[in-house]
Each structure stands twice: as structure tokens, then as C-alpha cells.
Structure 1
Amino acid sequence: MSLAQFFDDFNNVSGCPTDCFGFIDEDNCLPDWISSHGTPRVGTANPFNGGGNSALQTTFLDAEGEGAIRLYDFQSGQTYMLSLANYTDPAGTDHDPVTLNLVLTNYMPHSVSAPNDCDAPLPNPPGPTQLIGQIHFAQTTPNWQFDTFCFTPQQNFTQLWIYPSVAPQDRNGNGGVIFTDNLGLEMCSEPKLSYQKQVIPAYPCPGDDLTLDWEICLDQDGCIGDGDLLLDITLLLPPYFSFAAGNGTAQITLAVGQCQTLSFPLHSDPQTPLLPLDFILEVKTDWGCNPDFTDRDTFSFNFSQSLPVADFTYELGAFRCGAREVCFTSLAQPAATIRTYF
């Protein structure tokens, strides 16, 4: 399942600075945020569908810039999905190529820059860090772009550090601003699927046609961005079986709490050996925080074939006389019929 941990849209905040002469955490205008360097702020931004008209702003100019820290207790070994929207705006002409860095860290202090100092040098973290994502802007990007990163902390961290940087070879004095909005964090787990099987007929014989019906339900997702899970389904057949119609592959999309039934008409060869035989339903997805996730459901099936000759005084011939019956008929006199159920 995915559990939302936080979602920051930077709307409905008051008292935050709107220029580079203040701090985003001054007077607690933005709970759970502090400045790492420079003077990041909340300011007016281009609206978009699902977003408001304000966003976090961090500037950059050559080797200096601004940084902001989102406070949160990241747990070692837990998988998370971070999503955010960004665009850039130049101070004059096109800005220099810039990278927005997303870093886990601890103990970064709250920076208090000079009142007239928008940009400041990049500080050195006091302890271990883990880079979880980077977003590169080769030139001005006036439209919002949306990115998602899946990551697993290698140790416990308490801070998500967000800051722009310009590589030394790209520093030509053309600074700009990165706008960040709709910053969301989800805690992820493996997708959880459940199955229900129905087999028709219940007791087939070799050579019979039958249908395997699998109902697949998505009980929880695995941090899928749009809430849906795309599944690639493959039915793996035992020997001597073929598909009576179509094939054994399907692709379905399920949302959490939804079910879908897949039917597979099959034909069994008359020479099917003694069973049980295993039918395997294989489900794969590579979406979200669960790359190459695979789940398998196996169903063993028994057929009636090569029924043993009963140890009676008279030799008996076996044949199927009902859906759940086998009859043994005497091949000699006096005639006798023995009916057994299975």
C-alpha cells in the first residue's frame, strides 16, 4: 500500500517572505521547513491544474544559491516515493544549465544569511548524505514539469535537502530561479494481490475442454503515481495443454479495491499423463516503486485417467459414467457393475 506522509503545496501560508530578504521559517510561516543557505522563500508562481499560484523559490548564480530543508524522519530500509513539480525562470536571458538536487541528510543547521544576501555558498553537510534524485534544466523551462523518485534510505535521516547548483564549466553569470510545488512523499510497500479460482468442469477427463477463471483483486498498490496498477498476465500451461481460443497473455489495469476476472479456455490432450499438473498464473508490473515486481499463483489440478484395474475376482473395465463417478464393469460372467465416486 502507499501511505501519504506529507504533501506541501505552499498555499494558504501567511507571513512568509516574498523576496530574498527573509527566511521561509521565520515566525513559523512554513512549518517543517528551514533554510540551509541563502534566503529561499514562498512566492507567486504560474498556476497549473492541481496547483495553486504560490511555490517554493530557490535562486542560483554561479557557485552560489539558496537551499531549503524539509524536516521528516526517513527510516532506513523503508521504500518511499517522492513527487514534485518544477519550472525555471531566468533573471534576464536564458539561465545557465542548472541541477536541482534532492539529498537526504542530518543535522544541517538553520542558516541565517545577511539581510541583503539572496545567494550564499553551498554549505558542507556535517554528516552522511544520500542523493535520491536530480533534475536537470539545460535552459529556461517556463512550463511545469513533474518528476517522481523512488528511494530507500541507507540509514535513518531527518532532512530532505533541496537546492540548485551550477557545474563549474557552466558558470557564465546567468542566474535564475527554480519554482517547486506539490512536493509529496509516500511510504511504499509491495503491491498486494489476491486471487480466486473457478474451474469448469470440476472433474474433467483427458481430452475434455475446460475453462480456468481467475479473479484478480488489487488489495493495495505499491506507490503507483496515478493510483492504478498495470498488470501483465501470463498463464503458464503444463504439458499436453493448449489454449482453445486466444492465448494466455493479457494486460489489465486495476485500481486499489478493484477486481477483474480473466477466463482461459483450454484443451487437454487425450494423452495427458497422470496428475496433479500445475497451472501457473504469473503477474508482472514494473510501475512505481516496485521495479520488476512478479507475483505467482499456482493451482494444482487432478484428472481421471488410467484408472487402475480393481483387484476383483473378475477383470473389470473402467469408464467414466458421470461427472463425479467412475464405473467398473465386469468383462466376464456374471456381469457386475461397481460405481465409485471421486
Structure 2
Amino acid sequence: MTYNPARNHLPPPPLLGMARRAVLAAAGAAALAPALTWAQGPDKPLRLVLPVSAGSGVDGVARVLGPSLGKALSRPVVVENFPGAGGITGTSVIVKAPKDGSVLGMVSNNHVVNPSVFKNIPYDAVDDITPITLIGATPFVLVAHPSVAAKNVREVVALAKAQPGVLNYGSSGNGTILHLAAEMFVHEAQVDIKHIPYKGMGPLTTDVLGGQIQLAFIAIAVAAPHVKSGALRAIGLSSTTRSPLLPDLPTIAEQGLPQYALDGWVAVVGPAGLPKAEVERAYQGVRSAVAAPEVRDALLAQGYQLQSPPPDATAAFFRSEVNRMARLVKHSGLKLD
């Protein structure tokens, strides 16, 4: 996917462990302050804050990127997970971080979705961050259990129109990007398909494999082995271009829904007001880290198409995505809080 704005884990030092416990106990800004006032310097670690749990897709990217980023910036990188509230907990840590380059964050689609599905967010998704760069984007796959009598998008649409409200799809949870991927499909195809939310991609994948649900959008790295084994049937790809992981699978856009396009992406950000020199240093560091052969190969194997747009283009992308997701959420009628 070409960039288009329109469309060696280190254990945390004791202070960070205390901060995490304080966040879990108090979930307040005051509890975060001790962990976020480290002196800047080449001997101090760069804290890479993730608003997701360990083992998630974004976490996997961070663990791959961390060692190479540390080399590029000549300082150790500590990956810190602050999951909770759909990413709001961890993102709050990022936006309240010192404006000295000692703390960066790694966010995904949820960052631009949350403003439209949560009524009360303690930060502005655009104004309270400094976008650094996108790392890459990876497509989702619309999969079906083999018992579903449809082999492509046109057949799924025909089946759904013949039996309104009978077909179902699962998602990784209300308001997640996999939910919105399916809602975009429902909206573009003008069909009625029942939504069944799960708590994460793991149980979602388990139940579509078992036939408890009929359809689902799942990450291509997760889907590909099951498609190749015949355990799942691939219906279409969410991106605008085909993927080397499933090269024979047409995109949804190719199959009659030309406006359909949605990828999962990962980006590096900092708090708002990050000095220009720190922004440039971070951008060049991430760009160098992503270009390292071991990082590039690992991310390509996960289905990522790598990107390194400059900070100003990344900021334009964030603004565009916030507006695009707002329109999609409005169509779906979704509200979480």
C-alpha cells in the first residue's frame, strides 16, 4: 500500500513498575507523574509506550522495532504496555509525557476511532500528539467458515440479500477496527448481517474456525495459515492492493465494492509540543530502524507494507483518518460511552 493521506525487550526499571501499579490502582494523572519525569540523556532509556497489552499486534511490532531503534538512537529502548479503555489509558500516558523526546508512543487505528465512539476522552486525538511517522499498514481478510455457501464477495452479498439478518459476523469487540471493517462492508454492500462481538481476535478466530460464527475480518497474518490449510475460506482483502501472503486473493474493491479500503496501521507519535529537533531525531531513528534488514523482513512476514512518511504527511494522515472514521462510525450508529 502506498502512503495516501486521503484515503531484545528490556525489563522496566523499578520506577516504571511502580508507575504501572499506580496506574492500575488509581488511573490518575498524578500517579503517572513520577514515571514521566526522567532526565533526558543518551544514557537514559527511551520509553516506548503502547496503549495495548503484551502479545497484541502493535506490541509485536514494537518488540521487533525496539532493538534496531535503540541502535539508531544510540540509547536503550524500553517497551511499556499500558492497556485499558480501548487504548485511552496508554494514550493518556503518551500525551502527558515530558516534551523532551524521552517518551514516544506507538498507536494504531483505534487512536483515530476512539473520538467517535467514546463521549469522554481526556485528550484530543490530533492536537495532543506529535505524529512522527507511520511504520506500515497491513490488510484484513474477510473470511468465512467453509459451511457458508459463498466463495467471493458477490456471493456473500447475494446470500445476505436473500436472507436479511440471517448471516452473522464476529468482531474483536464493539468499536474495534475489525468491527468497523465489517460495518464498512455492510454499509458499502447495503446488506443486513448480524454483529456478534468478542473480547479480542483470539476468541473471534477460534469461533469462526469452529463455525460458531459465519464471517469475520481478521488480520492477514492470522488468517493466512488457516486459509492455506482449508480451515477458513478467504472471501476478500480489505486493502487496495493484493498481499504477498495471499497473492491470489482479490481485494474487496476488485470484487464489486470499489470504495472499500481499510488497513490496519501502526504509527509512532510523541506528546504535543515536541521540539522540532526531537521530532526529526525520532523520525530519522524510526526510519533507520524500519529499514534494518531484520526488522524489514520480520514486518513483511507479518503482512505489513512498510512506510516512512515524514511527520507533516503523517499529521495530515491522522487528521484525514479521524474524519473518515467519524463518518464510518456515524453510518454504523455505534456509541460505546
The answer to whether the superposition gives a TM-score over 0.5 is no
Higher strand proportion, which one? 1
What range is the shorter-chain TM-score in?
A: under 0.3
| Structure number, greater radius of gyration | 1
Quick one: higher RCO (CA 8 Å, sep 6+), 1 or 2? Answer: 2
Higher helix proportion, which one? 2
| TM-score, normalised relative to structure 1 | 0.24
